[in-house]
């Protein structure tokens, strides 16, 4: 947790490190740092949304790389330790999933990755593994272009959730 005052008092490098925990797209992080100081949490959220709207496909793909594959426990633990503080419990819906559901998620995730070239992105907070599996299965039918659009919207939801969770009034 951080207050707006504390966030505003970070130097550029520290602020960048904080924003990378929210979203790993460096262009977005740079814009967020350059927009400091912030008046309140609402202004951080508005600025985050506005800057995300300015991002391009390469930024989206960079942000997607900052996420573990849904249900991949090894990836959750190892590869993305830098977002652990703000991302904790985002995939808690997979914790109690059956082995069958986890296997189906694994298979569908790899099918999605092979088709689109990036992992399936969904704001998983509060969703069960079955709900995520249904969404993943439905989205497999979309074009890559449509999936980039949807995944970018989901990434924004995740980023805003992380900001809301981490910034105290």
Residue among 83, 61, 92, 87 nearest 158 (CA): 87
CB 105 within 8 A of CB 97: yes
Q: Are the C-beta atoms of residues 162 and 87 closer than 8 Å to each other?
A: yes
Which whole-number Å values give the CA distances from 7 to 3, 15, 37, in the listed order? 6, 7, 8
Q: Report the alpha-carbon distance of residue 98 to residue 35 in Å, rounded.
A: 45
Catalytic sites, residue numbers: 67
- Residue 151's nearest CA partner among 59, 16, 88 is 59
């Amino acid at each position: 947790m951080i207050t707006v005052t504390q966030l505003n008092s970070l130097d550029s490098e520290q602020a960048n490190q904080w924003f990378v925990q929210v979203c790993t797209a460096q262009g977005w992080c740079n814009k967020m740092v350059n927009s400091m100081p912030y008046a309140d949490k609402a202004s951080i959220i508005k600025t985050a949304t506005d800057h995300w709207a300015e991002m391009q496909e390469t930024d989206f793909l960079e942000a997607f790389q900052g996420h573990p594959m849904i249900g991949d426990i090894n990836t959750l633990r190892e590869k993305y330790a830098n977002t652990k503080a703000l991302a904790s419990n985002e995939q808690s819906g997979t914790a109690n999933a059956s082995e069958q559901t986890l296997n189906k998620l694994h298979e569908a995730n790899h099918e999605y990755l092979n088709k689109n070239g990036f992992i399936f992105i969904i704001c998983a907070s509060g969703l069960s593994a079955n709900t995520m599996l249904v969404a993943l299965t439905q989205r497999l039918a979309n074009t890559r272009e449509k999936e980039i659009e949807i995944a970018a919207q989901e990434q924004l939801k995740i980023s805003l959730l992380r900001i809301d969770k981490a910034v105290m009034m």
